[in-house]
Amino acid sequence: MATHMAEPAAGGTTAVADHLTLEDRVWLLRAMLLMRGIEERAMTLYRQGKVPGSFYDGYGQEAVSAGAALAMAPEDRLCILHRDLAAHIIRGVTPARMFAQYLGRAAGVTGGRDGNVHFGDYRLGCVGMVSMLPDMMLVATGMAMAFKIRGERRCALTWFGDGSTSRGDFHEAMNWAGVQKLPVVFVLENNQYAYSTPLDKQFAVNPVERAAAYGFIGVTVDGNDAEAMFEATRAARARALDGEGPTLIQAETMRMHGHAAHDDMKYVPKEQVEEWRKRDPIERQEMRLRSVGVDIEELRASVRAEIDAAAEEALASPMPDPSTATEGVFHEGEAEPLGNGLARWSGFAAPEPGGEAAAEAGAVPSEVVS
């Protein structure tokens, strides 16, 4: 089974995705700007003692989740991890709900039950993450198996880091998905370090080559190029829906901050960080769009205003009612059989763009996402 390298953009400025409109390309940039801005503001709130627990971000990795998420359809399922905030944005989670989530407020996606990144809005086709990595590969594989059994033309996708490839869960998911030719896309965010362990201390072969051992295609993509990520994911989804099985997409990127807020990443050579800083995914997309007349300064100002308003709204929102703490633990009402497609999670109907259900779920307007 061949392993492929996706073609890079010439000079880092030429559009590489043939299936994106200008509106799509602007939306990719906006999603990345929102992700970075939300995480920067949330980091400030964390240092002020307003965000409980620890704090994780995906600074420098915005293109990996933005590009991949945009390539998926509303009926598909995404298993989103802690450095993939742009995927939530693409799917329609508003900045105000994200800030409320970080702050542990009732308006957060988990209703204040989690003040961190273990969330997913099921109404938008997103599954909340499990802390043990890469367990979401198994979840995505299971959903893909259900889609295949039921004859549903849908696909599952999940992200995971390079450190995850050293765990048994990675191999279990890859093996079963390959054997069953399941409609699932695995996105490996190779950000150069598993906490403090560099790549050459993790594996003896390029991890994308492992796809061949399980009988399916592996591709390596510039993970700092949102449009390249979109194109690679779009192609992987098409193969999956055509019955060709999974794809492993290795997104080459760099974790520009520490593993979490407490990590000063002194173990990373400064030269390496500076080299990757030149490949910033947001600056790359801005350069492309400037070349076709998009007003980047106006877009940035709009994003800043949206983030400011969202943070203020979340800070003013109430804490959860303690009496609701036991809610949502068990299913309320009649049991739903899982074997015939009647369960809510399998019968997901995407909200109509711009409609009442979409607004309730925090979906982006139809004119934003084509």
The C-alpha atoms of residue 157 and residue 145 are separated, in whole angstroms, by 12
Mean pLDDT of the 347-361 span = 42
The answer to whether residue 370 scores a pLDDT higher than 50 is: no
The C-alpha atoms of residue 110 and residue 122 are separated, in whole angstroms, by 11
pLDDT tens, position by position, 79-129: 999 999 999 999 999 999 999 999 999 999 999 988 788 899 999 999 988
Is 50 exposed, middle or buried, given 0-12, 13-18 or 19+ CB atoms closer than 10 A?
middle
Of 67-76, 133-142, 323-332, which gets the smallest average pLDDT? 323-332
| Per-residue pLDDT at 361 | 41
| Per-residue pLDDT at 227 | 98
Angle between helix 22-47 and 296-316 (nearest 10): 40
The answer, yes or no, to whether the previous bond of 198 is cis (omega within 30 of 0) is no
Q: What is the DSSP letter of 363?
A: P
- The terminus-to-terminus CA distance of the chain in angstroms comes to 34
Q: Does 337 or 147 have the greater pLDDT score?
A: 147
Instruction: Give 272's contacts (C-beta < 8 A, 6+ positions apart).
Output: 192, 254
Is 266 exposed, middle or buried, given 0-12, 13-18 or 19+ CB atoms closer than 10 A?
exposed
pLDDT tens, position by position, 176-230: 999 999 999 999 999 888 888 888 888 888 999 999 999 999 999 999 999 999 9
Contacts 24+ apart (CB under 8 A), 128-135: 129/79, 129/80, 129/81, 129/82, 132/169, 133/81, 133/160, 133/161, 133/163, 133/164, 133/167, 133/169, 134/158, 134/160, 134/161, 134/164, 134/167, 134/169, 134/170, 134/173, 135/169
| Per-residue pLDDT at 17 | 58
Domains of the chain by start residue, with CATH = 3-28+52-79+124-294 (3.40.50.970)
pLDDT tens, position by position, 43-83: 999 999 999 988 989 999 999 999 999 999 999 999 999 99
Strands 3-5 and 217-222: parallel
Of 23-37, 178-192, 333-347, 351-365, which gets the smallest average pLDDT? 351-365
